[in-house]
Chain A
Amino acid sequence: MDALYIFLVLVSAFMCGLIFLTVTVFAIRYRRNRQPHAEPLHGSTLLEVAWSVAPLGVFLVMFVWGAVIYFQERTPPQGATEVYVVAKQWMWKLQHQEGPREINQLHVPAGRDIKLIMTSQDVIHSFYVPAFRLKQDVLPGRYTTMWFHATKPGTYHLFCAEYCGTMHSGMGGDIIVMEPTQYQAWVQTGGAFGSLAANGEAIFQQLGCPTCHRADTQGRGPYLAGVFGSPVQLEDGRVVTADENYIRESILAPNAKIVSGFKPIMPVFQGLVSEEDLNALVAYIKSLNQPPSGPAMSTLAPGVQAEK
C-alpha cells in the first residue's frame, strides 16, 4: 500500500506544483502594471475535454490499484489461523484457537496468516494497526473479519479508531509479532485454558444442545457436523451459507432462519450466552467439519447452489 501511497503523493505533488507554478507565473507575468488590458479568451472545448479525460485516466489507475489492494485485504486466505476478538468499552479481548486469552495484546508468530474474527459487546469500535496499514470496524451484533501476515518481529500499536465513548483514546494495545519458535514457547507458558473449540464443546454440552442436535440424525434439530461453510436450505426456500454470522444468529435468534424440514422449536439463547461463549461455540461447530469418522453431512440436496 505504501507504494500506492507514494504514487499518489507524487501525483499530488506534481499537480500541486503545476498549479502553484502556473498561477504564480501568470500572476506575475500578467499583473496589472505589465498587462494593463486583459485579452478576452472565451474557452476551448478541446482543452476542457483534455483536462477532464486526463485526470479520469489517472483516477482509473488509482482506483484499480487501490481496489486490488482492498480486495486482497478483504479476502482472507484459506487455512489462516483464527483469533477471535471481542471489543468492549474500553478494551480488547482476544482469544486464540489454541487457548490463550489476552487483553489489549495480541501475540502472533511472524510468517503466518492470521485472521481476526471480531465482534463488539456494545458499540461500534474499530481495530486499527497503523504499522500493518489495516483497519476494520468492529460491530455489535455481527462478526467482521480482518486478516494479516506479519513478517517482521516487533511490537506495533493497536488503536481503536471508531469513537466509542469516554475512553476511546485509551483503548489501545500492542500487536506483538514474534519469531515462530518464541511464539510456541509463549503459547505453552501463556496458560493452557484449553483450546477454544474444546471450551465450545463444554458449553455445547452445558446448554443442552445435544438434546436436539443429535449425532444420530434422529434429533429435532439439524445434525451439525460439516454444516459450517456449507449451503443450508431454509424452509422458505432460500439457501444461505452457514458462516460465522449464520451460526451466531442461529443461537441468538433461531426463528430468523428455519432449516427446511425442521420445526421452529429451538429456544432463544439471546442473553444467556456471552460473546466469548459464542466465539467458543462457533469454533466448536467449525471443528465438527473434521469428524473423526463418517462422512460430512450437508442438509442440502446435491446440485443446489448457495446464495451469497
Chain B
Amino acid sequence: MATAVLTGERENYLNKEYGIRSWLLTTDHKRIALLYLISVTFFFFVGGFLAMLIRLELLTPAGDLMLADTYNKVFTMHGMVMVFFFLIPVVPAVLGNFLVPMMVGAKDLAFPRINLLSWYLYVIGGALMSHCMLTGGVDTGWTFYTPFSTAFTNTKIVEAGLAVFVAGFSSIFTGLNFIVTIHRMRAPGLTWARLPLFIWAQYATSLIMILGTPVVAVTILLVAAERVFHLGIFNPALGGDPLLFQHLFWFYSHPAVYIMILPSMGVVSEIIACFSRKRIFGYEFVAMSSIGIAVLGFLVWAHHMFVAGISLYSALVFSALTYLVGVPSAVKVFNWTATLYKGSISYSTPMIYALGFLGLFTMGGLTGLFLACLGIDVHVTDTYFVVAHFHYIMVGGVLMGYLGGIHFWWPKITGRMYPEGWGRISAALVFAGFNLTFFPQFILGYVGMPRRYWQYPPEFQVLNVLSTAGASVLAVGYVLPMIYLLWSLRYGKIAGENPWGAAGLEWKTASPPPTFNFDETPEVTWEAYNYEEIPAPAEVTFER
C-alpha cells in the first residue's frame, strides 16, 4: 500500500515504513485498524452479495432462482458472515483500534502484539468460514438450533463452528486490550469523567465481549462434540435437551447485539457533539446508559424463546427485564435530540449519517417494544417482523453509525478529505434505500410471513418486491463510498490537523498521525466536548 502520495514529507504512520512485511508484522494499532478495515469490508461485500441472492429469490413466490437447500445455505451464510465477521468486529476493530489509544492520549494499546494476534485470528476464522462456504456451506440458520444442527443436517457445522470459535477469540482479545488501555493508559489529567463518550461506549462493549463470547465458544464446542461423537447433550432422542442449547446460545447472542450497537452509539455521540458545536446533553447519563445496557443486556436472553417451550413464569420475568433494557437506549435518543437544541448545526456527511441513525435506531428500538411484549411476540416472532426489527438496528443503526464514523475520521486516518457532495448523496441513498427495503418487512411479518422461507404464498409478493427494489438502491449507496473513498486517497484535498474543529485528543495531532500518535504526551486540563473553547472552522472546504 504505497502511501507516499498522501502527504508531503512529514513522517506519519503510513509512510514510516513500506513493504508487505511492515504491514503484516506491524504492532501499530493504526495499521492494524486498516488491516481490519480491508478484511471487514471484504466480508461485508460477501455478506451483501448473499443478501442480494436472497432478495432476488424472494422477488417471486415460487422457489425458482435456486434450490431450497441452496437458499437455506445462502441465508445461513449471510447471517453468519454478517454477524460474526462484520457487525461484531467492525466498529471496535476498525474505529476502536484506531481511536482508543489516541482518544486517551496513549502511544498504542496496552498489548500491541495481542492486537496483531487478534487480527490474525480474525483472518484465520474468516478463511475457515470462506472455505466452508466454498465447499458446501451450512444450512442451519446462523442460530444453528439443535437437534437439527447436531443430528440431522449433513452440512459443514464443525468447520463453520470452528471459524466462529476462532473469530470469537479475536473479539475477546480486542475487548481485553481496550479495557486495560482505558484503565491504565489514560494521559495525565484525563479522568473518567473527561473521557469521550466513544470511549465509554467501547469500554461497555469490551465488557460484553470478554464476558459473553466465551459462553458461545463453549456452546460451539459442545455442538461440535455432539456432532462428531454422536453425544446426546442437546438431542432429545439421546436424553438431552434442545432448550439447553438455546439458553446457552442466546446467553451470548443477545449481549452480542449490544456489542454491535454500543460502539456505533459512541460514534454518533462524537458526531452530534461536533456538528452541533456543543457538549452532548446529559453526558453522565449517556455514559452510564452504556454501562447500563451492557449489564442489563446479560439478563434478557430468553426473550428469544417466548414460544420455545419455556415456562410461563420465565417468560414474564424476561419480558419485564427486556422492557427495562429499553430505557437506557431511550435515554440516549432523548439526550442526542436535546443536544441539537440551541446548537449550531451543520450538515456534513457524518452528521447526515448520525441523524439518519437517530431516526432509524428510534424506529428499530420502538419495534423492539413490540417483541418484548409477550402477547404480540407470540404472533410476530419467527416472522419478517423480527427480521425487519434487527435490520433496522444493525443496518439502520450499526452500519450508518460506522459509515458516519468512517467519514468523520477519514481525514484523520488518511490525511485526505472525501468529496462531500458524493458523501451526502450516498448517505441519502442509504437512508432511502434502507427504509424501502426493510419497512415493508414489518408489514410482511404482521400479516404472517415466516422467516427463512424459500417460497411463500402469492399474497406476500408485492411487499417482497418493494423490499427487493429498496435493496438495489441500498446496494448503490454502499458501493459509492467504496469508489469515492478510494478516489480520495489520491485526489482528495489534503486535510489539516482538525478540519472539523472537533474536540478530542485525536484531533490534536497531525493527519495522518505519527506512528506514536503524539509528539509529546498530552496533559488534559479540560472537560470533554469543550466546544466553547474551540472555534468552528470558518468553512470546511472539500474542493481540491
Contact = CB atoms under 8 A, between A and B. Distances in A.
Interface of A: 1, 4-5, 8, 11-12, 15-16, 19-20, 22-23, 26-27, 30-32, 35-44, 47-48, 51-52, 55-56, 59-60, 62-63, 65-71, 73-75, 89, 122-124, 126, 128, 130-131, 133-137, 139-142, 144, 157, 159-170, 172, 253
B341 A52 contact: no
Contacts of A16: 359, 362-363, 366
B312 A23 contact: no
Nearest to B459: A157
B141 interface: yes
B308 A137 contact: yes
Contacts of A56: 323-324, 327
Contacts of B23: none
Contacts, number: 261
A4 B340 CA distance: 34
A73 B141 CA distance: 28
B334 A169 contact: no
B381 to A, nearest CB: 7
B359 A139 contact: no
B344 A36 contact: yes
A65 B344 contact: no
B375 A65 contact: yes
5 closest pairs, A vs B, by CB?
A141-B236, A130-B448, A69-B375, A70-B374, A66-B373
Contact of A59 (B279, B359, B369): B369
Contact of A157 (B152, B341, B448): B448
A60 B452 CA distance: 32
B353 to A, nearest CB: 14
A170 B315 CA distance: 30
A41 B379 contact: no
Given A26-B343, A67-B319, A135-B379, A38 B276 contact: yes
B330 A26 contact: no
Interface stretch (B282-290, B400-408, B429-437, B484-492): B282-290
A170 to B, nearest CB: 7
A27 B68 contact: no
Contacts of A19: 333, 337, 358-359, 362
A38 B376 contact: no
A1 B147 CA distance: 32
A30 B358 contact: no
Interface in B353-389: 355, 358-359, 362-363, 366-367, 369-370, 372-379, 381-383
B382 A66 contact: no
B312 A165 contact: no
Interface string B454-497: 11110000000000000000000000000000000000000000
A52 B331 contact: yes
Given A30-B340, A48-B282, A140-B147, A40 B531 contact: yes
A1 B382 CA distance: 17
Nearest to A141: B236
A264 to B, nearest CB: 17
A43 B372 CA distance: 30
A12 B69 CA distance: 38
B78 interface: no
B237 A140 contact: yes
B341 A41 contact: yes
B338 interface: yes
Contact of B450 (A26, A39, A137, A161): A161
